[in-house]
Amino acid sequence: MKLIFIRHGEPNYEIDSLTEKGWREAELLSKRTVKWNVTDFYCSPLGRAKDTASFTLKNAGREAEILPWLREFDAPVLDPETGKRRIPWDFLPDVLDANRDLYDNNLWTKNPIMQTGNMDENYHFVTDGLDALLARYGYVRDGYRYHASDETNREAVIVCFCHLGVTCVALSHLLNMTPVQLWQGMFLAPTSVTIVGTEERKPGEVYFRCQTVGDVHHLLSAGEPVSYYGAFNDPFQF
């Protein structure tokens, strides 16, 4: 199986859609995705993800199923420095150094910062939704791995149009780490492509491995600059 997460194009958050540049990015993305042999398309219910998917779906003559858990991850917490509610990522280094349990798979949701929001429930909303989706194709979660059977669709290619934060949550579940490690340490540019594949070196015992993270060659090859949205420095443009 190949599970492909695509971040929406450069966003206009005020209207939950795309900027003019974001529309260009989505069109360039579609010239790449239309070549894929996709089993099923899925999409976040938010406008910026649906708008990004629209070019691909039109060009491929396909539709996408809307999955509520693919919306941007929504579990605000109290910032320990400002006391204001905010998304649970982009903390400064001193906050992270003082809260090292955020990097522990068994403790991170119990951290005092995460306890100021409905973190555990929202995290499992995503991971339970992801596991239910994978079960459709015959992959059943068991601890830190998945089981496959003769009925499992090992050739499935699944494309999810979604968001940076929720992609990190999904990856953390598949790779058995905390999302904090990915929220804090990974940038996925608008319309970037992240591919995770199954490996089954022992029959019936499956784990996931990232094959591509945040790829934007569809933009660079067309001379379209990579957007900075989601980062605090300029992306590499070559």
117-128 pLDDT tens trace:
999 999 999 999
pLDDT over 90 at 236, yes or no: no
Domain assignment present for 109:
no
- Looking at residue 238, what is its pLDDT? 81
pLDDT over 90 at 173, yes or no: yes
CATH of residue 180's domain is: 3.40.50.1240
Domain assignment present for 190:
yes
User: Rounded CA gap, 52 and 43, in Å?
Assistant: 10
**Number of compact structural domains in the chain:** 1
User: Rounded CA gap, 120 and 101, in Å?
Assistant: 15
Nearest CA to 45 among 18, 64, 62, 58? Answer: 64
Residues 6+ apart with CB under 8 A from 222: 28
pLDDT over 90 at 62, yes or no: yes
pLDDT over 90 at 231, yes or no: no
- Looking at residue 40, what is its pLDDT? 98
- The mean per-residue pLDDT over the stretch 133-151 comes to 97
Alpha helix stretches (DSSP H) within the chain: 20-33, 47-60, 93-97, 119-136, 164-175, 179-185, 217-220
pLDDT over 90 at 87, yes or no: yes
- The mean per-residue pLDDT over the stretch 29-42 comes to 97
pLDDT over 90 at 137, yes or no: yes
Count of other CB atoms within 10 angstroms of residue 54: 18
Q: Look-up: residue for tokens 């995290």?
A: 123
DSSP 10: S
pLDDT over 90 at 76, yes or no: yes
- The mean per-residue pLDDT over the stretch 79-86 comes to 92
Domain assignment present for 49:
yes
What beta strand segments (E) does 172-217 contain?
193-202, 205-215
Domain assignment present for 10:
yes
Domain assignment present for 230:
no
pLDDT over 90 at 148, yes or no: yes
Domain assignment present for 89:
no
- Looking at residue 233, what is its pLDDT? 87
- The mean per-residue pLDDT over the stretch 87-95 comes to 93
Amino acid at site 44:
S
Domain assignment of residue 213, given as a range: 2-72+123-220
How much of the chain exceeds pLDDT 70, in percent?
100
Domain assignment present for 63:
yes
Residues 6+ apart with CB under 8 A from 158: 1, 2, 3, 4, 38, 39, 40, 42, 133, 137
Domain assignment present for 68:
yes
